[in-house]
């Protein structure tokens, strides 16, 4: 008996693209970023989203102070360095004026960040599915607590940094192939053989990865202000991720009820993927609305969050076996790994 | 005495003058009640020019009645002779010639001949002395119909009198009564799955006719035991032929009552393996499923692959989808009433089956011969391998495990000829776990005790006490997150039903009351280190009661009318908490302004529902009829499920101040026709149904362990309509049928606030809107032992909401979904075959074995079971469909009977 999974043959007419808002103000020093772009449909999902330029974007607090954001690149708006900084207890809202009209988020009070007490991990075999292959992972957990008097609505996200190595000297050309090392590799093709003449300047880089799942607090089944062993993410264990070691920082963000609802629905959407009992569709509405036409749907959220964070290193010795050597990619590091830098991070 | 050859007068009639019939339209003589008809005729002759020609003994039984006073002679004659074999002609404006109609006796003879040629035995039955024949005298025939093996009384047996073209039914204690004129009749006793019995009845005085019905043996298969003729059956009613059920193709060899319902007109199902079904655009929670009168909440095994009832344990199943009788209530769309078999009162007998997935065994026999009997039935799975069979990348399914059993016991005791006691227990359990450490277990229990008593020959009552329970548990065994989540619904109930069967009126009335005790959720930490905190949602209680009355009678010659009223009352009672929400604000937990605590037994909310029921049949001719049905029904318990088909973690919720009872009004009209010899039957039936307070969901609203469930739900309106067409061939080597249904099921959820609307308050298709449905089934008999059966089913794919665009926010991809139910999954169609070899034809063989080879999904259609969403590109979800069965599935089953 074969059970089968097939793409559904349903004609999908492309929906009218809607404005998406991705913005946040925190209690950490700025600049803060607000991104405006259009949502993508299934046909153009592999392309970069279309940015929305020339909007007037500002953040206004409950003291009626306004911080105007400047468009630093297409669709990306940033507050000024040394400008407004979020303060716990004040409320903030976002105002956007585009050619289509004026949009606002409801004012949200910045709530205390609580305390992220402990960040730890556990090895978990076959935890993550990548390209239908099951991969071992480290599951990341946090213990944290807030004040009993606060709403204690949190979202957790993580940032991972890992070192990788490539082998640009192994690049070949032609048929039959002959060595054609990249110049930055420090090697040359000297009479048909590789000869090292300098240090490699493009073999090592540090890749940054972000959480791609929504993790929010659920106080319904706990006492409401103490969170124990909350799974906030899974770090895949592969030769590339553990060439040396893996640095991960987890942030605990206090969020308003609206934003908590948003991420909660996103989490439900993610949980619905592949569920045996197919749940009803989860439509996620954002917290930014057209002031004049409330029926117009805008997507995304503007969050007002205080942050508590912790960072640790995950070491190959924590893996119960020896990770194989990294594959030999014959390209400069930055050409292969996106979101990477040659600059060694301060914590490394 | 004037003996005049009849023939002579008829010839005369053709040559003589025929005057206006004025004379008969006049009123003659004073009526003296009690005077013999003969004397009256003499008095009329003395005072008028009218002359009567008759045989004295024809007229003797008739006497004059007071209500004849002032009536014209014609009316008096017609009334007196109604339903007798005596008729008259009026000639020359003075002669009234009485004669006996011989048509019916000729017709009877030909029917008897035909029956004999079909190997149906015709028993001759003589009651009274033919020498004492008094024509036209009314006599009463009473009797009891029993089951041959179990000696149990059989209710609802159809007793058809050809001469009168009238059907009588036995009451629940198997009794019947009919009033006839003395004479000769052909009477047919019919009951589904039983051999038809024909009686050539010659009756001259009051008498008794007791009948024993035998289960249709294979030897008689050439004569198809017909159900009540379609033209006679009430609108929207159907019965399931249990012995035909086992000859249908099966999935992995399990004969399934509920699956066989799903190919009837007006019944549909949303996905490949789903025992939940939808009737005429209603939700799967709107079907009342009774096991020996106790409602059963969860009706599927193994994720919906099988239904929860063992076909061998069921004696009788009736299904109503429209014109629902007043004795049923509490669900708004349909009623499936299953009656467990009774044990044999004479000797021990058993049946069993060995299949690929499960085996079942049933044994029953006398505890005390002729007095009490017991029957036990059990079915269970062997192993998890059905899931392991599913070769899939979907790890959670193939690594899962599944187990189920169901069993029933029934004990019956005849206290005396007028009363009977019976008790019945049904229990089922299901367990499955997916690869992640969650185990789901769910249970059904239905226990009932019933006492039947016949007070007088016409009055019968039964008192039933029952206890029903549905519970499930979800457990997580991972120590870090270990928990047990418990849910249960317990519902004891009392039913008192009276049946009063008179010749002209069949009345039923009674009182039902059910107490509901729901435990909506209890979450317990199940390990030391778990992060789960113990949580309990307040238990909920309610009482649902109903008084009903219904009367079925013939109105004139052509109309059969059944009118009824059910008056239901629902009291939500304490202890409990009722929340108050800010006025002019959406119903959200954050808008809670107050809560009121109620003590145990205190009434929190009351609803009263008058539920009129009407079913009318208009006979157009001997083979066709028009039927009209109307019913209004109330439903006070609601299934809250966030998945499109029934899943084990379904929550049943009682009505409260915010969750008002669901109300459905249905009007149906049908035209039914049978071919003359009953070979073909066909019908077309249309319906229009309006529903109030049907529930839909807020997006992603939490349903499990939510103490304020009203804030997660949205009441809306439902509208369903459709036309059902069906043609069936009932007799011959090839039997089978084709049916087609066009139907829509629409919803409108238009709350006060934007967050309380679905699709901005516009009308949208419900989860089970499937406009086109076609079903074909057949059985070809090679001989009396070997059959080739099959079925084909097609229905429009059900509506679904799909992701249509997406975006990435802070590294996380988010999908934006279409309007609710804006798309459809691909259409469903499937062809199944079965080859059935049945054991010996000999009736008295001790042991009988049958083989059934089935091929399910012959051409390997990949029908969608569910829709998956898989991230694509920048995280936008691409819909994929999962087909659990994508190839033909053969299976072999052996079943036996001794």
> Which residue, among A13, A46, A142, A277, would best test binding to B if mutated, counting the most B CBs under 10 Å from its CB?
A277
Q: Which residues of B touch A49 (CB under 8 A)?
A: 807-808, 874
pLDDT band at B73 (very low <50, low <70, confident <90, very high): confident
Question: pLDDT > 70: what percent of chain A?
Answer: 89
Give me the total of CB pairs closer than 8 Å, taking one residue from chain A and one from chain B: 221
- Residue B209: which pLDDT band, with cuts at 50, 70 and 90? confident
- In this complex, the residue of B523, B816, B867 whose CB is nearest that of residue A221 is B523
Instruction: Provide the pLDDT confidence category of residue B245 given band limits of 50, 70 and 90.
Output: low
DSSP B618: E
User: How far is B693 from B696, CA to CA, in rounded Å?
Assistant: 9
Q: Which residue of A has its CA nearest to B877?
A: A42
Angle at alpha carbon of residue B605, lines to B601 and B610, rounded to 5°: 115
Averaged confidence pLDDT in chain B: 80
Specify the pLDDT at position B116: 63
Residue of A nearest to B391 (CA): A2
Mean pLDDT lowest among A25-34, A244-253, B153-162: B153-162
For the cut 50, the answer to whether the pLDDT of residue B20 exceeds it is no
Cα separation, A156 vs B372, in Å, equals 68
Q: How far is CA A309 from CA A85, A312, B880, in A?
A: 18, 11, 38
> What pLDDT is attached to residue B556?
81
* Mean pLDDT along residues B237-241: 61
Q: Say if residue B233's pLDDT is above 70.
A: no
Q: What pLDDT sits at residue B16?
A: 32
How much is the CA Rg of chain B, to the nearest whole Å? 31
**Torsions phi, psi for B827 (to 5 deg):** -60, 150
Whether A10 shows a pLDDT value over 70: the answer reads: no
Q: Which residue in the set A40, A221, A265 is minimally distant from B807, CB to CB?
A: A40
pLDDT at B242: 61
The pLDDT, as a whole number, for residue B70 is 77
- Across the interface, whether the CB atoms of B876 and A277 are under 8 A apart is answered no
**A9-23, A101-115, B2-16: segment of lowest average pLDDT:** B2-16
Q: Identify any residues that bridge with A7 across adjacent strands, giving them in sequence order.
A: B880
Q: Per the confidence metrics, is the pTM higher than 0.90? A: no
Contacts of B392 in chain A (CB under 8 A): 2-5
Q: C-alpha angle B888/B891/B894, rounded to 5°?
A: 165
If you average pLDDT over residues B849-869, what whole number do you get? 83
SS3 content of chain B, % helix, strand, coil (to 5): 10, 55, 35
Contact B71, B40 (CB under 8 A): no
Least confident of A143-152, A252-261, B381-390: B381-390
When mean pLDDT is compared across A248-262, B696-710, B805-819, B824-838, the lowest value belongs to: B696-710
A-chain residues within 8 Å CB-CB of B700? Answer: 264-265, 268-269, 282, 284
Sequence-distant (6+) residues with CB within 8 A of B507 are B498, B499, B500, B501, B549, B550, B551, B552
- The distance of A35 to chain B (nearest Cα, Å) reads 9
Residue B857 C-alpha, separation from nearest chain A C-alpha, in angstroms: 11
| CB-facing half-sphere around the CA of B639: CA atoms within 13 A | 25
The whole-angstrom distance between A1's CA and the closest CA on chain B is: 6
d(CA B777, CA B240): 14
CB atoms within 10 A of CB A142: 24
Which range has the top average pLDDT, B162-176, B311-325, B337-351, B468-482?
B337-351
Could you say which of B397, B649, B867 has the minimum Cβ distance to residue A278?
B867
Whether residue B363 has pLDDT greater than 90? yes
Cα diameter, chain B: 112
Task: Give CA–CA dist B184/B771, Å, rounded.
Answer: 52
Inter-chain touch A284–B392, beta carbons under 8 Å: no
**Can you tell me the distance from the alpha carbon of B170 to that of B179, in angstroms, rounded to the nearest whole number?**
14
Q: State whether A273 and B870 contact (CB < 8 Å).
A: yes
Measured between CB atoms, which of A212, A221, A299 is closest to B813? A212
CB A134 within 8 A of CB A128: yes
Using only C-alpha atoms, what is the Rg of chain A?
Answer: 24
Predicted confidence (pLDDT) at residue B557 exceeds the cutoff of 90 = no
- Report which listed range, B2-6, B29-33, B340-344, B529-533, is most confident: B340-344
- What does the CA dihedral B701, B706, B710, B711 come to, rounded to 10 degrees? -50
Residue to mutate among B528, B648, B699, B797, with most A CBs inside 10 A, is B699
Which residues touch B771 (CB under 8 Å, ≥6 apart)? B742, B743, B744, B796
For B698, name the nearest residue in chain A, comparing CA atoms only.
Answer: A282
Region B684-702 average pLDDT: 88
Closest-CA residue to B420 (of B153, B144, B209)? B153
| Mean pLDDT across chain A | 86
In sign, the C-alpha dihedral spanning B52, B55, B58, B64 is positive
Q: What are φ and ψ of residue B771, in 5° steps?
A: -55, -45
Cβ pair B700:A227 closer than 8 A: no
Burial call A91-110: b when 16+ CB within 10 Å, e when fewer: ebbbbbebeeeebbbeebeb
Q: What is the mean pLDDT of residues B521-528?
A: 82
Structure tokens given for B211: 């009948």
pLDDT exceeds cutoff 80 at B390: no
Which one of A271, A280, A287, A297 makes the best mutation probe of the B interface by having the most chain B beta carbons within 10 Å? A280
Q: Do A45 and B699 touch (CB under 8 A)?
A: no
pLDDT digits (tens, 9 = 90+) for B698-712: 877 777 778 888 888
Give the model's pLDDT for residue B83.
66
ipTM for the whole complex: 0.90
Report the range of poorest mean pLDDT among B63-72, B85-94, B862-871: B85-94
| Distance from C-alpha of A71 to C-alpha of B343, rounded to nearest angstrom | 84
pLDDT score at B12: 30
Distance CA A81, CA A90 (A): 20
Alpha-carbon distance of B221 to B733, in angstroms, equals 10
Supply B787's token pair.
């059959």
Q: Does residue A263 or residue B15 have the better pLDDT?
A: A263
- Is A253 a residue whose pLDDT tops 90? yes
pLDDT digits (tens, 9 = 90+) for B433-467: 765 567 888 899 999 999 999 888 788 899 999 99
| Residue from the list B760, B801, B811 with its beta carbon closest to the beta carbon of A281 | B801
Highest mean pLDDT out of A89-93, A263-267, B259-263, B297-301: A89-93
Mutation target to probe the B interface, by most B beta carbons within 10 A, among A15, A18, A26, A45 is A45
Question: Is the confidence at residue B510, as pLDDT, over 90?
Answer: yes
Cross-chain residue pair B533–A157, CB shorter than 8 Å:
no
pLDDT band, very low/low/confident/very high, at B819 (cuts 50, 70, 90): confident
Per-residue model confidence as pLDDT tens digits over B86-130: 777 776 667 777 776 666 666 677 677 666 655 566 777 788 776
Predicted pLDDT at B59: 74
Residue B595 has pLDDT above 70, yes or no: yes
Chain B hits for A299, Cβ within 8 Å: 807, 814, 816
Q: Which residues of B touch A210 (CB under 8 A)?
A: 810-811
- Give the pLDDT mean for B256-284: 79
The residue that leads in pLDDT, A191 or B377, is: B377
The arithmetic mean of pLDDT across residues B394-420, rounded, is 79
Residue with more model confidence, B225 or B624: B624
- Dump pLDDT digits (tens) for B324-338: 889 999 999 999 888
Whether residue A31 contacts residue A23, with contact meaning beta carbons closer than 8 Å, is answered with: no
* B230 has a pLDDT exceeding 70: no
Q: What pairs with residue A128 in β-bridges?
A: A135
**What is the model's pLDDT at position B698?**
83
Contacts with A220 from chain B: Cβ below 8 Å: 535, 702, 705
Q: How far is A237 from chain B (nearest CA, A)?
A: 20
User: Considering only CA atoms, which of B334, B323, B331 is closest in space to residue B613?
Assistant: B323
Most distant CA atoms of chain A, gap in Å: 75
Query: Which residues of chain B neighbour A296 with C-beta distances below 8 Å?
Result: none
What are the counts of helices (DSSP H) followed by strands (DSSP E) for chain B?
9, 55
**B817 to chain A: nearest residue by CA?**
A283
Name the least confident of B254-263, B381-390, B446-455: B381-390
Q: How confident is the model at residue B14 (pLDDT cuts 50, 70, 90)?
A: very low
DSSP-derived secondary structure letter, B254? B
- Taking the C-alpha atoms of residue B283 and residue B45, their distance in angstroms, rounded to an integer, is 70
Neighbours of B137 (CB within 10 A): 18
> Tokens for A218?
């659920």
The rounded Cα B118 to chain-centroid distance in angstroms is 30
Quick one: how many helices (H) and strands (E) in chain A? 2, 25
Which chain A residue shows the shortest CA-CA distance from B485?
A: A221
To probe the interface with A, which of B647, B700, B798, B817 has the most A CB atoms within 10 Å?
B700
Please indicate whether residue B651 or residue A332 has the higher confidence score (pLDDT). A332
pLDDT digits (tens, 9 = 90+) for B560-594: 898 999 999 999 998 888 888 888 888 877 778 88
Residue by residue, DSSP assigns A283-335 as ----SEEESS-TTS--EEEEEEE-EEEEEEEE-GGGSSSPPPPPP---S-HHH
Q: Which residue has the tokens 């609803």?
A: B607
Distance separating alpha carbons of residues A57 and A288, to the nearest angstrom: 12
Residue-level pLDDT at B18: 35
Percent of chain B at pLDDT above 70? 83
């Amino acid at each position: 008996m074969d059970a089968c999974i097939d793409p559904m043959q349903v004609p999908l007419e492309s929906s009218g693209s809607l404005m998406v808002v991705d913005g946040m103000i925190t209690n950490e020093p700025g600049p803060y970023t607000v991104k405006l772009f259009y949502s993508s449909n299934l046909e153009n999902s592999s392309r970069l989203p279309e940015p929305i330029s020339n909007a007037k974007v500002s953040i206004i607090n409950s003291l009626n102070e306004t911080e105007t954001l400047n468009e630093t690149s297409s669709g990306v708006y940033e507050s000024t360095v040394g400008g407004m900084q979020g303060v716990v207890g004040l409320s903030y809202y976002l105002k956007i004026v585009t050619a289509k009209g004026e949009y606002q988020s409801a004012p949200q009070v910045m709530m205390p960040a609580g305390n992220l007490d402990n960040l730890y991990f556990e090895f978990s075999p076959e935890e993550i599915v990548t390209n239908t292959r099951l991969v071992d992972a480290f599951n990341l957990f946090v213990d944290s607590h807030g004040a009993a008097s606060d709403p204690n609505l949190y979202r957790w996200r993580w940032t991972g940094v890992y070192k990788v190595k490539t082998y640009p000297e192994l690049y070949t050309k032609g048929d039959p192939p002959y060595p054609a090392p990249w110049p930055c590799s420090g090697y040359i093709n000297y009479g048909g053989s590789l000869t090292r003449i300098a240090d490699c300047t493009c073999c090592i880089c540090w890749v940054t990865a972000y959480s791609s799942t929504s993790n929010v607090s659920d106080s319904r089944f706990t006492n409401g202000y103490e969170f124990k062993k909350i799974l906030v993410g899974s770090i895949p264990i592969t030769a590339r991720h553990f060439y040396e070691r893996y640095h991960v920082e987890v942030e605990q963000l206090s969020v308003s009820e609206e934003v908590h609802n948003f991420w909660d629905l996103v989490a439900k959407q993610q949980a619905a993927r592949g569920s045996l009992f197919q749940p009803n569709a989860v439509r996620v509405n954002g917290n930014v609305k057209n002031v004049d036409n409330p029926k117009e749907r805008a997507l995304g959220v503007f969050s007002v969050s205080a942050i508590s964070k912790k960072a640790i290193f995950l070491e190959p010795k924590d893996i119960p076996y020896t990770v194989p050597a990294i594959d030999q990619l014959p390209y400069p590091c930055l050409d292969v790994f996106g979101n990477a830098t040659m600059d060694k991070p301060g914590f490394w | 005495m004037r003996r005049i050859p009849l023939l002579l007068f008829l010839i005369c009639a053709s040559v003589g003058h025929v005057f206006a019939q004025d004379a008969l339209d006049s009123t003659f003589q004073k009526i003296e009640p009690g005077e013999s008809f003969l004397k009256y005729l003499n008095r009329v002759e003395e005072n008028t020019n009218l002359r009567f020609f008759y045989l004295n003994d024809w007229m003797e039984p008739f006497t004059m009645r007071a209500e004849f006073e002032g009536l014209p002679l014609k009316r008096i004659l017609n009334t007196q002779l109604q339903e007798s074999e005596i008729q008259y002609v009026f000639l020359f404006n003075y002669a009234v010639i009485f004669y006996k109609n011989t048509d019916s006796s000729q017709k009877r003879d030909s029917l008897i001949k035909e029956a004999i040629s079909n190997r149906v035995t015709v028993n001759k039955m003589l009651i009274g002395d033919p020498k004492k024949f008094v024509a036209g005298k009314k006599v009463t025939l009473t009797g009891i119909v029993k089951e041959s093996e179990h000696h149990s009384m059989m209710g609802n047996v159809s007793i058809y009198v050809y001469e009168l073209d009238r059907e009588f039914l036995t009451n629940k204690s198997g009794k019947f009564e009919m009033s006839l004129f003395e004479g000769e009749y052909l009477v047919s006793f019919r009951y589904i799955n039983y051999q038809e019995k024909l009686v050539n009845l010659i009756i001259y005085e009051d008498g008794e006719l007791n009948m024993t019905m035998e289960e249709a043996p294979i030897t008689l298969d050439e004569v198809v035991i017909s159900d009540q003729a379609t033209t006679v059956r009430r609108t929207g009613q159907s019965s399931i032929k249990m012995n035909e059920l086992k000859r249908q193709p099966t999935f992995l060899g399990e004969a399934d009552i509920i699956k066989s319902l799903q190919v009837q007109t007006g019944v549909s199902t949303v996905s490949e393996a789903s025992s939940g079904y939808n009737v005429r655009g209603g939700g799967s929670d709107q079907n009342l499923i009774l096991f020996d009168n106790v409602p059963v909440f969860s009706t599927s095994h193994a994720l919906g692959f099988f239904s929860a009832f063992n076909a061998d344990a069921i004696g009788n199943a009736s299904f109503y989808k429209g014109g629902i009788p007043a004795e049923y209530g509490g669900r708004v769309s349909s009623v499936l009433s299953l009656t467990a078999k009774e044990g044999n009162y004479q000797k021990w007998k058993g049946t069993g089956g060995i299949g690929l997935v499960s085996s079942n065994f049933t044994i029953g026999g006398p505890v005390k011969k002729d007095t009490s009997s017991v029957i036990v039935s059990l079915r269970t799975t062997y192993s998890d391998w059905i899931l392991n069979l599913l070769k899939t990348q979907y790890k959670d399914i193939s690594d899962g495990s599944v187990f189920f059993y169901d069993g029933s016991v029934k004990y019956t005791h005849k206290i005396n000829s007028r009363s009977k006691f019976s008790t019945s227990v049904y229990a089922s359990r299901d367990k499955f776990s997916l690869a992640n450490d969650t185990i789901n277990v769910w249970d059904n229990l239905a226990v009932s005790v019933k006492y039947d008593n016949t007070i007088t020959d016409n009055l019968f009552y039964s008192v039933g006490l029952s206890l029903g329970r549905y519970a499930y548990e979800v457990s997580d065994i991972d120590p870090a997150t270990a928990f047990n989540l418990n849910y249960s619904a317990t519902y004891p109930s009392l039913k008192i039903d009276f049946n009063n069967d008179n010749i002209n009126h069949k009345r039923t009335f009674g009182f039902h009351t059910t107490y509901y005790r729901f435990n909506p959720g209890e979450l317990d930490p199940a390990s030391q280190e778990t992060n789960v905190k113990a949580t309990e949602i307040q238990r909920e209680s309610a009482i649902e009661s109903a008084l009903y009355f219904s009367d079925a009678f013939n109105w004139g010659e052509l109309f059969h009318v059944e009118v009824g009223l059910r008056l239901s009352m629902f009291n939500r009672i304490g202890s409990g908490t009722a929340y108050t929400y800010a006025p002019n604000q959406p119903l959200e937990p954050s808008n809670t302004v107050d809560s009121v605590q109620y003590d145990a037994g205190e009434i929190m909310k009351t609803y009263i529902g008058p539920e009129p029921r009407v079913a009318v049949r208009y006979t157009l001719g001997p083979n066709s009829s028009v039927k009209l049905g109307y019913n209004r029904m109330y439903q006070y318990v609601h299934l809250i499920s966030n998945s499109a088909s029934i899943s084990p973690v379904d929550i049943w919720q009682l009505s409260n101040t915010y969750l008002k009872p669901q109300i459905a009004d249905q009007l149906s009209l049908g035209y039914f026709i049978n071919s003359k010899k009953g070979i073909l039957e066909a019908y077309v039936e249309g319906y229009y149904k309006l529903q109030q307070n049907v529930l839909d969901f807020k997006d992603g609203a939490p349903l499990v362990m939510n103490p304020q469930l009203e804030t997660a739900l949205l009441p809306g309106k439902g509208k369903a309509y459709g036309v059902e067409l069906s043609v069936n061939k009932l007799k011959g080597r090839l039997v089978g049928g084709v049916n087609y249904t066009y139907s829509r099921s629409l919803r409108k959820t238009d709350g006060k606030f934007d967050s309380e609307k679905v699709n901005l308050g516009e009308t949208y298709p419900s989860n089970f809107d499937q406009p086109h449905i076609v079903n074909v089934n057949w059985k070809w008999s090679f001989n009396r032992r070997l059959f080739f059966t099959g079925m084909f089913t097609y229905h429009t794919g059900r509506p679904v909401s799909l992701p249509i665009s997406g975006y990435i926010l802070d590294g996380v991809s988010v999908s934006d979904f279409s309007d609710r139910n804006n798309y459809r999954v691909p259409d469903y169609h499937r062809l199944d075959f079965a080859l059935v070899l049945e054991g010996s034809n000999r009736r008295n063989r001790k042991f009988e074995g049958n083989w059934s080879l089935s091929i399910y999904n012959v051409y390997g259609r990949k029908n969608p079971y569910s829709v998956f969403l898989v991230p694509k590109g920048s995280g936008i979800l691409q819909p994929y469909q999962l087909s659990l069965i994508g190839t033909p599935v053969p299976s072999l089953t052996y079943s036996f009977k001794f």
